[in-house]
Structure 1
Amino acid sequence: MSDSTAPLGQAKYQVRLDWGRAGAERILTGAHVVVLVDALQFTTAVVLAAEQGTETALADARGDASGIAAALAGRDVVVLAASLRNRTAVAERILALQEERGERVVVAIVAAGERTRAGADAARDGELRFAIEDQLVAGAVVDALVGVGIDHTSPEAAVASAAFEGLRHAATHLIGASGSAMELTGADPGLRADVRLATQRDVTRVVPELRDGVFRA
């Protein structure tokens, strides 16, 4: 658990944002809800499965985002899977949780990022990489939270929100044209349809929540 006085903990803010598993630990102190974002892979797949009435078990999942979720399992926090598809529904679920609690709910948004893959610089293979698609979708979630009145955002969350707000009309194109999308579709052209699904905004009301090692709506 991170020290609530740590300079990178964003402890005085209601809405926080950081990257990867280490980032999740940094901003977890005092949080009631963790919103996990992996725009082109895990969380969008979880949302799509929930739309079809299917659960997603962490035991069957791979990747950093599922590892972050597994690390959060058993913590005293609500863990939600967010994508561009359900970002407003996620914000409204958090507002409902806040109303149920009768007190301010602290939200930690964790962008999973991506891992570099073997290439010219093999020494950097596996390093956590900033991913614009996760930045935009995390910012879209912050934007939706601000829209429902949960707006005491950290600088990190505010910058992500501003990026989405300024680029909202281009977000679909930018995510689809990102290096991550190109890498995915280059390895498997059949994933182009999945990328298109990941770029659709506010098309579902499902909000998968992690319970007993399983994301279910």
Structure 2
Amino acid sequence: MSDSNTPFGQAKYQVRFDWGAAGAERILPGAHVVVVVDVLSFTTAVVAAVEHGVPVAPWPTDDPHGAAALAERLGGSVAARRGEPGPTLSPTSFTGREAYDELDGPVVLPSPNGGAIAAALADRGVVVLAGALRNRAAVARRILALQEERGERTVVAIVAAGERSSGAHGSAARARAGAGAAPADDPIRFAIEDQLAVGAIVDALVALGIDHTSPEAAVACAAFEGLRHAATHLVGASGSAVDLVEQGYRADVRFATELDAAEVVPELRDGVFSA
């Protein structure tokens, strides 16, 4: 575990924010709760799944055989590729009853971004929550409840996944083609949908009195506050969203930009997200 006293550890703050797996390692020491944010589409899909009673096991995508082995161990199934029948990384694939009535056990959901981060945090001794625009207020309330249960200040690390992908169509096209995760050295692309969702969660935490935010978290919060009324348009016009719309997933984009539409807060327990 890295040293939180480094200049980038944000150790003095209760609410921290960084990007990607490396960022998670920087701000993890001393944290009690980690919120993973990957709006288009992993954490939004997890929220939709758990809202419909479907537990989800995150998988980092780089080993499809490992995903199948995990599904077998959990007594579940591996999500299909986007565009195929059944539950997939497409959030709306979990919203039709026919998508989940036949499911037995957790769905292993491969994702090179949010899924990879969540999977890496499974055994780190922290509460791991899936956050999105849809459940940002519910996430804040859950964190407040956890703090009240602990009876002392709870440190929150919020991690935006961004896009570990290069090229015009990024991970969405890679998922459509069935390829594996981006290489570990593939740089993270800044994703405004994740930036705004992190800011929305920080905004909800501040409203509940959890407001000792790092500069990084404060800037994300200010971005959301200043752009709140344009957030849906901005996310829908982002590169990530345009990529999805061009592939026929406009409904996923609309679904992901609905603010405070869900009360469920998926929590990672024994490697599986459930309510």
Tell me if both proteins adopt one fold, taking TM over 0.5 as the criterion.
yes
Q: Post-superposition shift, 1:126?
A: 3.6
Normalising by structure 1, we get a TM-score of 0.94
Q: Which residue among 68, 72, 76 is the counterpart of 2:117?
A: 68
Q: Which residue pairs with 2:274 in the alignment?
A: 216
Q: Does 1:192 align with 2:250?
A: yes
Residues 1:145 and 2:194 are matched in the alignment? no
Cα offsets for 1:177-204 (capped at 9, x unmatched): 1011011222x21x11011000000111
Task: Report the TM-score when normalising by structure 2.
Answer: 0.75
Match in the other structure for 2:227: 167
Match for residue 20 of structure 1? 20
Give, in whole Å, the separation in 2 of the partners of 1:4 and 1:40: 29
1:85 aligned counterpart, secondary structure: coil
Three-state SS of the structure 1 residue aligned to 2:135 is helix
Map of 1:32 onto structure 2: 32
- The answer for unaligned runs of 5 or more in structure 1 is 120-124
Query: Hey, what's the Cα distance between the residues in 2 that align with 1:58 and 1:108?
Result: 19
- Partner residue of 2:152? 103
Q: Equivalent residue for 1:122?
A: none
Tell me if 1:130 matches 2:179: no
Partner of 1:53: 53
- Select which of 216, 221, 236 maps to 1:156: 216
> CA-to-partner distance for each residue in 1:97-120, whole Å, 9 max, x for gaps?
00000000000000000133335x
1:162 maps to amino acid: A
Asked whether 1:202 is paired with 2:260, we answer: yes
For 1:36 and 1:11, locate their aligned partners in 2 and report how far apart those are by CA, in whole Å: 18
Mapped partners of 2:167, 2:34: distance in 1: 31
Mapped partners of 2:129, 2:263: distance in 1: 13
Aligned residues: CA RMSD: 1.2
Contact kept? 2:112, 2:164, Cα under 8 Å: no
Residue 139 (structure 2) pairs with residue 90 (structure 1)? yes
Greater Rg, structure 1 or structure 2? 2
More helix by share: 1
Task: Name the % identity.
Answer: 71
SS at match of 2:134: helix
Matches of 2:229 and 2:258 in 1, distance apart?
A: 12
Is the Cα contact below 8 Å between 1:42 and 1:63 reproduced in 2?
no
Counterparts of 1:107 and 1:130, CA distance in 2: 21
CA distance in 2, matches of 1:156, 1:62: 25
